[in-house]
Amino acid sequence: MARSALITGITGQDGAYLAEFLIKKGYTVHGIKRRSSLLNTDRIDHLYQDPHVEKRNLILHYGDLSDSMNVTRIIQESQPDEIYNLGAMSHVKVSFDIPEYTANTDGIGTLRILEAVRLLGMISKTRIYQASTSELYGLVQEIPQTEKTSFYPRSPYAVAKLYSYWITVNYREAYGLHASNGILFNHESPIRGETFVSRKITRALARIALGMQDILYMGNLSSRRDWGHAKDYIKAMYLILQQDKPDDYVIATGISTEVREFIRNAFAFIGVDIAFFGENLEETGVMKAVDENLFCEKVGEAHLSDIKNRMKNNPVFVKVDPVYFRPTEVDFLLGDSSKARKILGWSPEYDLDGLIADMVTSDMILMKKEHYIKEGGYKTLNYFE
């Protein structure tokens, strides 16, 4: 019989990639989606099947991690072999604005799943993956961070995730549940939420190159992250649940990069050389030169004269706005995923340049479509040849 999985957070970045991956492996995938006033299934629409198809491999249930009865009923009805608990209010900065909601969803939500599996008598049937995070390391106590590094969370989000981490470990030890934590470092993709820093940069880059935006306002340019590609990271989630023994694993690339450097590398991909001047709130990013051939290849010849004029007359395109600062920041993350590489046989296929290329290429296509609609058609630009 086909294996079945339940994914909370299926409408999010990781949920969408994981659902596609598991369906390709022959799984029947159940997903929890929240009711919202607008459709929120963009990322999984390509996987959708008519409810009248006899044997569907993707089944969506309305639900919410804050609702115990709902969570319990969905687990009972779907009888999953594997649960991937990816649902969360996942934005660190926003968690300072809605700390109680974040604790309820990202902390107690995990307990609701574990307890449902226990009370439904599914301990020997169902394996659980908990989406833990490098944010747990916060004010880092060791470099690089491993499974043994002490945690020091620095946001309501991270504190809620700390509860989830330990309650997962506790249910494993107390009741023998096959429950594991993946301690995943930052991972991004073309379908990353638009307010996370990587996507904010690649989206703004495309808009600036097309003349649709002047300034990219940023927060802390000096923080460093260990960035990977979500497509690689969801494979690790799957591998973790295929192990005979449940355990906790760090998933990371082992390379840490400054936000400032991410911006520089992204602009280099379209042939624009940039530099940063000034300090703190006065820091600015400035366009210095353009590789015309590369710019024409990645953006289009139609926009070359505009970017050259922009560079001559008004080269500042990054400014700092303190509204994006966090009350307590995580300055530096660098993961050591030796254990996962050895035991799971996992390693990432994408490096940072590959990730940036994927994201910028995708946002360039999306923004060209927006620009095309705004400009009223093909009159001047042949975008889709």
List residues near ligand NAP by CB under 6 A: 8-9, 11-15, 32, 34, 36, 40, 64-66, 86-90, 105, 131, 133, 184, 186-187, 193
Q: Does 219 bind ligand G4F (CB under 6 A)?
A: yes
Nearer to ligand G4F by Cβ, of 70 and 284: the residue is: 284
Interatomic CA distance for residues 343 and 25, integer angstroms: 21
Determine if residue 245 is left, alpha or beta; phi over 0 gives left, psi from -120 to 50 gives alpha, anything else beta: beta
Please pick, among 126, 135, 171, 233, the residue that the annotation labels catalytic: 135
Closest to 67 in 3D by CA, of 97, 109, 111: 109
Interatomic CA distance for residues 243 and 245, integer angstroms: 5
92 binds, among ligand G4F, ligand NAP, none (CB under 5 to 8 A by kind): ligand G4F
- Residue least distant from ligand NAP (Cβ): 12
With residue 22 as reference, give the H or E element that holds it.
Answer: helix 13-24
The CB-of-148 to ligand NAP minimum distance in angstroms stands at: 18
Q: Does 276 bind ligand G4F (CB under 6 A)?
A: no
**Which residues, at least 6 apart from 40, have a Cβ–Cβ distance to it below 8 Å?**
11, 33, 34
- The stretch near ligand G4F (CB under 6 A) out of 64-72, 107-115, 133-141, 229-237 is 133-141
- For the record, the structure tokens of 44 come out as 């999984």
Q: E strands along the chain, which residues?
A: 4-8, 28-33, 58-62, 82-85, 127-133, 178-184, 187-188, 216-218, 224-225, 228-229, 249-251, 257-258, 272-277, 284-290, 316-320
Amino acid at 136: L
225 binds, among ligand NAP, ligand G4F, none (CB under 5 to 8 A by kind): ligand G4F
41 binds, among ligand G4F, ligand NAP, none (CB under 5 to 8 A by kind): none
- The stretch near ligand G4F (CB under 6 A) out of 59-67, 172-180, 249-257, 328-336 is 328-336
Rounded to the nearest angstrom, the gap between the alpha carbon of residue 210 and the centroid of all alpha carbons in its chain is 26
The CB-of-271 to ligand NAP minimum distance in angstroms stands at: 28
Name residues contacting ligand G4F, limited to 90-129 (CB under 6 A): 90, 92-93
- Residue 105 annotated in active site: no
Q: Does 225 bind ligand G4F (CB under 6 A)?
A: yes
**Which residues, at least 6 apart from 182, have a Cβ–Cβ distance to it below 8 Å?**
129, 130, 131, 132, 233, 236, 237, 240, 248, 249, 251
Nearer to ligand G4F by Cβ, of 18 and 75: the residue is: 18
Phi and psi at 293, nearest 5°, equal -65, -45
**Which residues, at least 6 apart from 67, have a Cβ–Cβ distance to it below 8 Å?**
none
Nearer to ligand G4F by Cβ, of 140 and 177: the residue is: 140
Please pick, among 102, 126, 133, 202, the residue that the annotation labels catalytic: 133
248 binds, among ligand G4F, ligand NAP, none (CB under 5 to 8 A by kind): none
Phi and psi at 184, nearest 5°, equal -90, 135
- Residue 115 annotated in active site: no
- Residue 133 annotated in active site: yes
The residues carrying an active-site annotation are 133, 135, 157
Residue ranges in contact with ligand G4F by CB under 6 A: 90, 92-93, 133-135, 185-186, 195-197, 200, 218-220, 223, 225, 259, 324, 326, 329-330, 333
